Structure 1
Amino acid sequence: MAVQSGSQVSTRLSDVPIVPEIATAAIILRSLNSNAFVNSGVMIRDPEADAFLTNNLGGKTFAPRYLGPLADDEPNISSDDPSEKSTPKKITGGKNKAVRQSLNQSWSSMDLTNTYLGLDITTAITNQIGDYWNTQENKRLLASLKGIIAADLATGSPVMTVDVTGKTGADALFNAEAFIDAQTTMGDMASSLTAVAVHSTVYATMKKLNLIDFIPASEGRVEIPTYQGLTVIQDDAMTYVPAVTGDSPSPAKYYTYLFGRGAVALGVGTPKTPFAIHRDEAAGNGGGEEIVHSRLEWIIHPQGFSFGLEETPTLAQLETASNWTRQYERKRIALAALITQG
């Protein structure tokens, strides 16, 4: 029932009960439905990753095996000599290792604060948890991409990255020529690219150059920005390295990523207790406190790479070049990067 405090009434959890199972489903649905990388087809649910996270068999890493393409060797010339024997070729493969990401967050509210504000803070928190996890999902994806591109650049002969920040003027900004160069890192598979993700600063450059086209969404209510046929995703969480001044100056660097459909595998699992509300009646000198707990099991993994750690990584660990190893040949990885000054 509602709690009366003078003339003020505060809605309590008992007035608007939150069912954990329903709240969990709503949180996952909201985080996925509002994610631009999911909606654009860049990040796709992987049934094998889902199964790994929910099979109750344990395990920290997920490493499905893969077979590579057949080598493009010249075929044998047939003959009528029975002593001439052909030598069979081999098919190679490997493992594309991903790591389980076991994550949680909690938020608290004091009962007395609810009373003073006349609001149900616990319900307000619960309604925003899906958006919170959507943001964290993007941060973890972009941190992984930063690490992968750092590994590519560390080779000294990058095969996935075009960096024009060393140029001057308009040539150092996003431009059609640089974009085509980034596409071309995929060779004859460049046509498989379907989306491009940019920082709002880069998006502004594209608009000033009149490079953005808009097409109506299927519902007809929203227009989708596109560039050279690729869906444009705008996100200010995109990798950005500020300019450095002083004795060793360096320009600002904005990372733009080009993706093919399904470039990133997404697995979603269910922890033992994904959502809970804990009451601490003694908190606030007996005034009471409610703590909302949310937990997720994720795999967020760019296809074609292996991640080197065994435990849930921090963002900094995802950004570390040495933790990533490319497994697929370049053209089989639907990912490229363009680094510009804006």
Structure 2
Amino acid sequence: MPEFSGATAKLNLVEPKVFADYVLEQQTATNRLLSSGILTTDPIIQAQLLKGGTYVTIPTLQSLRGEAQTWNDTSDITVGNVDSYSAIAPQMYQAKAFGYTDFGQLSTGAPVAEQIAGQFASFWNIQDNKLLIAVLKNAFLNADLQAVKAYGMGTPAPLAAGDFIAALSRMGDVSSPQLTKIVLNSAAVGAMRDQNLINTIQPSNGGTPISYYNGIEIVEDDALPVAADGTTDAFIIANGAVAYGLANPENSYEVKRDSLGNGGQTAVINRRTLAMQIAGTSFTDVTKVAGLGYSAINASATSMYDLVGDPRNIGVVDYRFKIDKKFVVAGINTPKA
């Protein structure tokens, strides 16, 4: 009996007429949220991930507060304290294995081993991308967060520049963190282009053109949902607004060989642990963090997060609006699987 099942067999591969012309199925999903700098490694989270447990603690010092005291030689100077708070982020444990049979690889000429080895990092990047969207969506189910950092949540109105500016006002007079990116579904980007609202700049080095809306760089990603009626969200985010940590435990990467099963087969296994959290929020109930992952966060109808500290320092704003349904294309800019 095979030691494992599910390896890529001959029937799962494309058998080309000419083996040398075999073309790998290209990765179509994008990972622009991560490469944009929105998600950055937090050293406090990073340092805790391999110490064991189901959550990490993120201590944070508040800004200095109070009024200046009149200085004279008749009264003592009063010493003020520095307030602090701690946020909780669930620690997630993930594993994935891909496999192939010797016969399937040899008889078809398909370089499955190279495909697996070369694209495991891309696979994990896509998982992080999906988790980031799920965390953002779930956090904004919190009514308190909506009240201070969201606009248009009740009855979304058509996309309008004035409403976008109203959403930006949720940052108040806080200059840091500064909102630098706006995450949009491509359908929303199409609607903005239709209204001539997007300014595109070509870098001097000939790189990929950069699009801006109201002076904020657009990060286009269809992992952000758009409903059939055109309702969608724009997450306007500061760099580093989402704290992140990733660690590889012992035996994080492993190759499992089964010489007898299915005529000989190999599995490549990867294990990792991570935490991801909007800075300024904390996981609500530590008794529920065990085994938590993307699916539970994405499917939850209630928020799993509370606000901690000064909400003005939260570097994310959620602007909900509607676009014309003509920009919504099922299976193209609808949510990724």
Class of the TM-score when normalised by the shorter of the 2 chains: 0.7 to 0.9
Please point out which of 272, 288, 293 is paired with 2:264. Answer: 288
2:10: which partner in 1?
Answer: none
* Contact 2:144-2:307 within 8 A present in 1 as well: no
Q: Tell me which of 26, 37, 43 is aligned to 1:41.
A: 37
Asked if structure 2 preserves the Cα contact closer than 8 Å seen for 1:112 and 1:288, the reply is yes
Matching residue's letter, 2:232: Y
SS in 1 for 2:193: helix
**Structure 1 contact 164–173 (Cα < 8 Å) conserved:** no
Q: Aligned to 1:257, which of 214, 220, 235?
A: 235
TM-superposition CA deviations, 1:68-117 (whole Å, max 9, x none): 1233x4444556755xx776544321102222221111112222211221
Using a 3 Å threshold, how does the CA distance of structure 1 residues 280 and 156 change in structure 2: closer, same or farther? Answer: closer
State the identity as a percent. 25
The answer to whether 1:341 aligns with 2:322 is yes
CA distance in 2, matches of 1:312, 1:190: 38
Q: CA separation in 2, counterparts of 1:81 and 1:160?
A: 46
Q: How does 1:53-132 map to 2 (within 5 A)?
A: 53=49, 56-71=50-65, 73-77=66-70, 88-132=79-123
In structure 2, the partner of 1:27 is none
1:235 matched to 2:234: no
Query: Deviation digits for residues 203-259 of structure 1, max 9, x if unmatched?
Result: 11111111111223463221111112211101110134x35xxxxxxx553111001
Offset, 1:138 = 0.7
Matched to 2:33, the amino acid is F
2:281 corresponds to which of 281, 302, 305: 305
Is residue 265–residue 300 contact of structure 1 (8 Å, CA) maintained in 2?
yes
The alignment partner of 2:282 has SS state of strand
CA contact (8 A) 2:241 2:316 kept: yes
Larger-gyration structure (1/2): 1
Q: Deviations over 1:125-171 (max 9, x none)?
A: 222222211111011011000111111xx34961111116725xxxx
Q: Does the CA-based 8 Å contact 1:165-1:341 persist in structure 2?
A: no
CA distance 1:49–1:10, change in 2 (3 Å): farther
* Aligned length in residues: 293
2:14 counterpart residue number: none
Match of 2:152 among 143, 157, 163: 163
Note if contact 1:146-1:239 (Cα within 8 Å) is conserved in structure 2: no
Q: Structure 1 residues 186, 159: CA separation in 2 closer, same or farther (over 3 Å shift)?
A: same
- Summarize the Cα distance change of 1:164–1:272 in structure 2 as closer, same or farther, 3 Å threshold: closer
Question: Which secondary structure state, in structure 2, belongs to the residue aligned with residue 108 of structure 1?
Answer: strand
Tell me whether 1:270 sits opposite 2:255 in the alignment: no
Task: Give the direction of change, closer, same or farther, for the CA distance of 1:10–1:115 in structure 2 (3 Å limit).
Answer: farther
Residue matched to 1:179: 164
- 1:280 and 1:218 map into 2 onto residues whose CA distance is 53
TM-score, L = length of structure 2: 0.78
Matched AA of 2:283: F
Please give the secondary structure, in 2, of the residue aligned with 1:185: helix
Contact in 1 for aligned 2:45/2:57 (Cα 8 Å): no
Distance 2:279 2:296 in 1: 18
Asked if 1:314 is matched to 2:308, the reply is no
Runs of 4+ in 1 over 6 A off after TM superposition: 8-11
| Residue number in structure 1 paired with 2:311 | 330
Residue 142 and residue 49 in structure 1: after superposition, are their counterparts in 2 closer, same or farther (change >3 A)? same
Counterpart Cα distance in 2 of 1:52 and 1:297: 11
| Cα distance change on mapping 1:121 and 1:39 into 2, 3 Å | closer
Render the CA deviation track for 1:181-208: whole Å, top value 9, x for unaligned: 1110111126811000001111111111
Shift, 1:317, TM fit = 3.1
Q: Root-mean-square deviation (CA), in Å?
A: 2.8
CA displacement at 1:313 relative to structure 2: 1.8
Q: Which stretches in structure 2 are left out of the alignment for 5+ residues?
A: 1-16, 21-26, 324-337
Match of 1:137? 128
